[in-house]
C-alpha cells in the first residue's frame, strides 16, 4: 500500500436526485481542492426515499442514471478516484439495487458492488424497515485494486456480517469501505 489522501463526504441525501447530485459535486470538489486522491460518498447518495412507489418512480436504470454519468465526468475532470457509496439503481419494474460504484481517474467504472445484506428489522419503538421489499440483494463480495491499496467494498448493514470482511481480508483487502446512511 502507498500513501494517499482520502476525502470522506458527509451529506444528508433527500428525495430529489438532482439536489443530492449538486451537493455531492460541490463536496467532491472541496475534497479535491483539499488534496484528495480518492473520495467516498455515503450510501444512497442519489436518493433517500422510504416510499416504494416514489422510489421506483424516481430512480433510473444504470445506463440512464444522471448521477452515475455526472460522477464519471467529475472523476475524469478532477483526475481522482470517486467512490460512490451507493446509488439506488432500478434493476426491474419492482426492485432496485443498492449499488456502489468505484470510478477511476479517467471516468471508467473500476468496480461495482451490490449490497448483500438487506436491513430488515423491527425496532422496539415500533418502527419497521424492510430494505428487501425495495432492493434486490447482491450475491458477491468485491475487491478493487487501486494504485495505493486493495479495497474491499461493502455497504452499511453488511457490517453486521463478519464473514464478508473475513473473505475480503483473505482476498488481500487492505482498505475496507463501509459507506452508510441512516433514516
The whole-angstrom separation of Cα 81 and Cα 86 is: 15
| Cell 445506463 found at | 63
Show Cβ contacts of residue 161 under 8 Å, excluding neighbours closer than 6 positions: 116, 117
* Residue 43 CA: distances (Å) to CA of 3, 39, 71: 25, 13, 14
Would residue 170 show up in a list of annotated catalytic residues for this protein?
no
Q: Which of 32, 43, 49, 67 is catalytic?
A: 43
C-alpha cell at 135: 432492493
Instruction: Write down the catalytic residue from 32, 67, 90, 156.
Output: 156
Active site residue 23: no
Q: Which of 32, 49, 90, 115 is catalytic?
A: 115
Catalytic annotation present for 43:
yes
Q: Which are the catalytic amino acids?
A: 43, 115, 156
Amino acid at each position: 500500500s502507498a500513501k494517499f489522501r482520502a476525502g470522506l463526504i458527509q451529506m444528508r441525501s433527500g428525495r430529489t436526485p438532482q439536489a443530492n447530485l449538486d451537493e455531492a459535486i460541490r463536496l467532491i470538489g472541496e475534497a479535491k481542492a483539499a488534496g484528495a486522491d480518492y473520495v467516498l460518498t455515503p450510501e444512497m447518495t442519489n436518493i433517500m426515499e422510504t416510499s416504494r412507489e416514489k422510489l421506483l418512480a424516481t430512480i433510473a436504470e444504470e445506463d440512464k442514471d444522471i448521477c452515475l454519468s455526472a460522477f464519471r465526468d467529475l472523476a475524469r475532470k478532477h483526475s481522482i478516484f470517486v467512490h460512490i457509496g451507493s446509488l439506488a439503481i432500478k434493476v426491474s419494474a419492482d426492485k432496485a439495487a443498492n449499488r456502489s460504484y468505484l470510478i477511476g481517474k479517467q471516468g471508467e467504472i473500476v468496480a461495482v458492488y451490490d449490497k448483500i445484506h438487506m436491513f430488515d428489522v423491527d425496532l422496539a419503538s415500533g418502527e419497521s424497515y424492510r430494505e428487501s421489499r425495495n432492493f434486490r440483494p447482491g450475491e458477491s463480495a468485491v475487491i478493487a485494486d487501486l494504485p495505493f491499496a486493495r479495497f474491499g467494498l461493502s455497504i452499511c448493514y453488511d457490517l453486521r456480517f463478519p464473514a464478508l470482511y473475513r473473505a475480503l481480508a483473505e482476498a488481500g483487502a487492505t482498505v475496507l469501505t463501509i459507506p452508510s446512511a441512516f433514516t
